[in-house]
Amino acid sequence: MDHPVLALVNVETTCSPAELFPNVSSSAIQGSACPEILLHMRCKYYRADVIVREIHERSQLKGAEAVVICFDGRKASSWDSSCNWMQAANELNLPLRLLVCGTLVPANLCTNVQADMTSYHRFAIEREFELIELQPEEDSIEEGEEFGVHRLKSALEAHMWPNMELLVAVNPRRQITTDVMTSTGVNMLDDKPASGTNESSISNSKSPSSSPATEKEEDKESDAELGLDETAESFERLCLRLLKTRDQMSGLGFEERKKLAEKVTMEFWKVVGGSDDELTGEDSDDDHLSA
């Protein structure tokens, strides 16, 4: 699979990948028509390589998996141009959309005296963008809120990259037990209870000569394990989405936060086997949850 592309757009700014992603490992890509680097994403759940490509024409957005639009938060002309780029990204329905500036100064961007910080965050959210300040004013930072390049990294990690490889988590207790058994020269079979059955009989039980009943039981176990694996993978992805949504909520009003929370709740409900009918039936007062 080809590496997904993150399109980097500078609107009256000069943000480089090194400035935006200083805490993500990367390597240069030689011989490309556009400036490119390869980001090596790795977090607790997965790893993925992503091409960061700086572009200058809106037509170059086509085929990108993500876009980061950098604008000058103190210049109205930069904001206006970034809005045009946002519209282009929306028309292409890019999966991940981020809007980045140094410091956002609403008074410099709009003559509307009612336009405040929340208005700009809401404007971005309505267009499925997340607005991230690299150097926000101290009085605008809420306690525990993530911002700057750290928030930018978290937003990238929360995305479901098409080439992501899920990492297999190791149970610490099980790993310690395995290490102890290995150091003492004792071998054991994972997830098998101790019994009088020797290794050859275990091996024979999985041979083609197994009885039909045994084969059916093994098929059922395999199907069950497959279902659990798929559910676990979906749940992990939703957890990452939840982290991203939590940070997006910081700049929204009550109603916007409520709508986002309802959307995520619906997705969790479906993962655990719930149906839309159970939430949208006559007995429910929250018919808008299905919207």
What pLDDT, on the 0 to 100 scale, is given for residue 283? 41
What pLDDT, on the 0 to 100 scale, is given for residue 214? 52
**Assigned domain for 282 exists:** yes
What pLDDT, on the 0 to 100 scale, is given for residue 282? 43
What pLDDT, on the 0 to 100 scale, is given for residue 35? 77
In one letter, which amino acid is 8? L
What pLDDT, on the 0 to 100 scale, is given for residue 30? 76
pTM of the model: 0.61
> Are 99 and 227 contained in the same domain?
no
Distances (CA, A) of 15 to 11, 71, 220: 9, 9, 54
Low-confidence stretches of the chain (pLDDT beneath 70): 1, 31-33, 111-113, 169-255, 257-258, 267-291
Give the domain CATH number at 48: 3.40.50.300
Q: Which domain holds residue 258?
A: 221-291
Q: Enumerate residues 6+ apart whose C-beta is below 8 A from 2.
A: 163
Last residue of a domain, one of 133, 149, 165: 165
User: Is 110 in a helix, a strand, or coil?
Assistant: coil
**Assigned domain for 26 exists:** yes
